[in-house]
Chain A
Amino acid sequence: MVIDLDKCTGCQACTIACKVENNVPHGSPEEQRLRREIYWHKTIAVSRGKFPHIRTEILPMPCMQCEHPPCVTVCPAKATYRREDGIIMQSYRRCIGCKYCMVACPYGARSFNYKAQETKPYHRQDDPPDRKSWEPWPFPARTQGVVEKCTFCFHRIDQGLKEGKKIGIEVVPACVEACPSQARTFGDLDDPQSQISRLLASRSSFRLREELATHPKVLYLSR
């Protein structure tokens, strides 16, 4: 995924769209105070300087889907694993909730379910279709005690592949679709002809915490 920081308007539509798409539970003032809110996608603000020469950068951060993911390395139950196309999957059935992956993730992309979420008023109780089914709208019932994270909306991609759609053009993750300024692009990094590759060739880009050599797949085009 490539995020153009110059086009990004800091509106956070990506964060909300992700919650809508994946039935991610919302938080509460108490949970934010205790740092227990679940975010699959978060937006951070980083500032430098003093008045009046100040600069604040707003960075949207999904799961980086690293090429050398520290979380996959440390998961004892193989609940998180890298699948063929590079997406780091999370299996709620295998997850034993040891939270080792949360400690190991350099980007804070993972959240733990500290309580059963069914009690929340906006949570979709009667999720269509059967909650436990994984196609085509998977809102798997995530119980308490498991870790969850962004999955690049793999369900959309799988569905799109089945229907023969073009990934990255007709089928994109929810955050990419929701971005009003079209600052986010999704596609195949290996394909030199894809829009992503062309974007990366056009400007300088960077990744977060490059020094940890996780080789994240989310790149930012600088302003």
Chain B
Amino acid sequence: MGKSKGNRSKDKKENEFNLTRRRFLKLSGVTGAILWTTHKTIGQLDSCLASPLQKKARYEEKWVVTSCLNCQGRCGIRIGVVNQRAVQVTGNPYSQVSEGKICPRAHVGLQVLYDPERIISPLKRTSSEKGKQIDPRWKPISWDQVLEEVSRNLRNLRDGLRPHHLLLFSGLNSRSNEDLISRFAEAYGTPNLVTGDALDWEAERAGNWMADGHFDLCAYDLDQTNYILSFGADLLESTPPVARWLRKWGKFRREKSIRTKVVSIQPRYSLTASKSDEWIPIKPGTDGALAMGIAHIILHEDLFDHRFIKEWTFGFEQYRETVLQNYSPEAVSKMTGIPTETIYRIAREFAQTRPALAIPGKGALAWSGGSYVGYAIRCLNALVGSIDVPGGILYQEQPEYRAVPKVPSDEIAKKGLKQPPLDLRGTERFPASRVVTNQIPQSLIERKPYPIEMAIGFNSNFNMTAPASRSWEEALKRIPFYVHVAPFISEMAQFADLLLPSTTYLEEWGYDHSSSGAGFAEVRIKQPVIKPIGDSKSIGDIIFLLAERIPGVVAKAFNGIGNCAEEFVRLRTSSLLSWEEFLKKGVWKGPPYQYKKYPTIFHTPSKKFEFVSGNLRALLNKKGRAIGEGTEILPHYSRVRWLGDESQFPLILFSYQPLLTFDNGSQNYPWAQEIFLPMQGMGWTSPAEVNRETARSLNLRERDRIWIESPFGKIQTYVKISEGVPPNMVCIPFGQGHTSYGKWQKGIGCNPNEVIGVDFDLLSGQSAFFNTRVKIYKA
């Protein structure tokens, strides 16, 4: 214990700071020296620009033209590949459908390519049970083994004279792959090739077909239109070709002298509605009534295009009578919930702004009377003379690929192709349909008209994207042998016995043309930007490999069209342009669009635009169906048939499709997931949007977890109070609720398809998505 005095002391004790002046100076000197040295050395590395100490590595850059396949738009893109890694995506300026622009999903393609959970080798299922939550316990096997097993099964089925027991699913594939798949189906002898078209747009096609004989989607001249009246269409989110809509939106809003006015008629305030000039909330399912009501006003006030109607239409008088009798604006106002003045105003604006376009969207078409809604809207366009004119409806031209030799046929194939199709297309039940995707589960479960023994799925994921997922799961369980061909293990692949890893669209050869939209024809190349990852093969090559293992007409069908996908593509596009040019430019564009082809463009009995559908009349006559008072072959509105009793299920489930999950089988992409819902500013989620008053009356607060229950099932998510949702609806986005592999998608959100019931537009086979009623309550 030491003591020191408070006054000055000459004794230096141990417990004091032993600091003499000399020491202090020494210490300062050393510190200063250290600081100066540090400044001179480390400080130099601290330059704001590139340090001279760093070296430049070897750097190899190339740009490959190809096309995208994240949706049906299939836009031309250029991929920047640096040191053998794809790092950049831009549009292809030669592609004019979207003027060389691409949508955000094209960039996400890089994550599609490098998805760490892709299948890289063929896999075989080792667990005997199949189910949604059941682990298949995949075992890798070699390509030889898997091709042998698949082709053996195919051969056996064919030798057993039952080729029609083969079911082929085709999801989103390139056109060249689609051509190869359908060639295979035809040569093999099965009529059961099911695509997902009936989940999206069949009603639009049927409506168009009734009007002018084109069983095809609408194409629009957006460059020159001055008024767009959209019925239930999410133009900026899920109307293919998406990139075209995004580019043309900018164009017709501010790049032409007259700014196009856009009116969005939708039950819910969507992104498109927020960008439109007017949003008109409408009662769900009543778009047909509104279209007829607008027609009423146009007819009544004599605002239609007399010349076109007189010269190029058929059945106008009968149409006019029906409309004027049944669809007065006051009555329509009651049906749709839109004030009468608004209907008058919109109708007059639409008719008096030329050229104008009326556009149907899934929100208006995916109902049980959907084809007629499409027909009614098509007729609106005809009334204002917007058919095949600048700024109006266009007729999509198809590219003329070089014809391939006809598919050789034998007795087995002939007999097989004559069998009734599994999805009952073109039958009594769905007379005008070309595919009825959502009929498959019922047919499989009931084993009608015959059981299926084998199925192959190409990039399909219908139990995620089709209504009533449960019945799909039940149905898939009953397929004895299911082969799935895709780059990822999707929900459908979980029921497979064999998994064949196919390449993504960035590693394969193909040709593609976008879904209808631009009018003129345009073909884009698909070529590999990098070598296929893992042991994957492109679908085209897989089909060639399978075909050569099935002797007979199947193998013969695939002779003479090239030996692999690349040669097939080269052959088919040789009628359009030279291969070298195609490889370099990536795009072939057809001749410029010719307008007013009235003498030749209408594929109807009267060779004119028909307000009373002769095509349908002929079809129904062939089927032996009596045509009633005639409403059946005219556009009309039929009341919505709800699934679920209103007293028990008070709310309507109205789901919507955001851009970032549009047409996607997989959603394992963080770039898309984190910004999934722009209107809500949220990602990684799929909330149920509920009106404020509805939530209050049900005692629900923001973020409460709720069950959404329909007569067909229930799903769980949480509440988001939204002002854009009407009081009697609940809105959930599509695209989440995955349960298959992929850590960035599994278990996120919920899938509304699980609770949506099975219903159809019986004419076209289009699945109805919006007529399911639900109730919500706290979880």
Contacts and interface: CB of A to CB of B under 8 A. Distances in A.
B719 to A, nearest CB: 16
Interface string A99-135: 0000000000000000000000110101011101111
Interface string B687-698: 000011000000
B50 A134 contact: yes
Contacts of A205: none
B250 A9 contact: yes
Given A121-B116, A129-B57, A182-B250, A16 B274 contact: no
Interface stretch (A46-54, A145-153, A159-167, A209-217): A46-54
A180 B725 contact: no
A28 B88 contact: no
B275 to A, nearest CB: 6
A193 interface: no
A180 B680 contact: no
Interface in B228-264: 236, 243, 245-247, 249-251, 253-255
Given A94-B46, A129-B83, A7 B250 contact: yes
A132 B680 CA distance: 37
Interface stretch (B107-115, B427-435, B751-759): B107-115
A8 B275 CA distance: 8
A209 B440 CA distance: 56
Given A7-B249, A58-B271, A128 B107 contact: no
B748 A29 contact: yes
Given A26-B674, A32-B683, A91-B48, A16 B692 contact: no
A122 B249 contact: no
Interface string A57-75: 1100000000000000000
Interface in A56-98: 56-58, 78, 81, 89, 91, 93-94
A181 B55 CA distance: 40
B59 A51 contact: no
Interface residues of A, number: 59
- The prevalent SS among residues of A at the interface is loop
- Chain B: number of interface residues, binned into ranges: 35 or more
Contacts of B236: 9-11
A197 interface: no
Nearest to B49: A134
Given A129-B59, A181-B249, A11 B104 contact: yes
A8 B116 CA distance: 33
A178 interface: yes
A43 interface: yes
Contacts of B46: 93-94
Interface in A166-197: 177-183
Given A9-B249, A32-B684, A183-B250, A50 B723 contact: yes
A81 B48 CA distance: 9
A24 to B, nearest CB: 9
Contact of A37 (B246, B674, B727): B674
A198 interface: no
A58 B274 contact: yes
B274 A56 contact: yes
Contact of A50 (B90, B108, B114, B692): B692
Given A9-B236, A16-B108, A124 B85 contact: yes
Contacts of A91: 48
Contact of A28 (B48, B98, B670): B670
B128 interface: no
A94 B44 CA distance: 11
Contacts of B90: 177-178
A26 B54 contact: no
B493 to A, nearest CB: 20
Contacts of A20: 87-89, 107, 110, 671
B640 interface: no
A211 B492 CA distance: 55
A139 to B, nearest CB: 9
Given A32-B674, A43-B678, A45-B680, A180 B103 contact: yes
A128 B62 CA distance: 12
A37 B32 CA distance: 43
A35 to B, nearest CB: 12
Given A32-B684, A180-B250, A26 B56 contact: no
Contacts of B683: 27, 29, 32
Nearest to A202: B254
21 contacts: A7-B249, A9-B275, A10-B236, A11-B104, A12-B660, A13-B103, A16-B671, A21-B88, A28-B674, A28-B744, A32-B674, A47-B724, A50-B692, A56-B679, A56-B724, A124-B87, A128-B85, A129-B83, A134-B49, A135-B50, A179-B101
Given A12-B660, A51-B692, 11 more contacts: A13-B102, A13-B107, A17-B107, A20-B88, A27-B674, A37-B674, A45-B680, A58-B678, A78-B48, A81-B48, A128-B60
Sort A-B residue pairs by CB-CB distance and give the 6 closest, nearest first: A181-B250, A26-B670, A180-B246, A130-B57, A128-B83, A13-B104
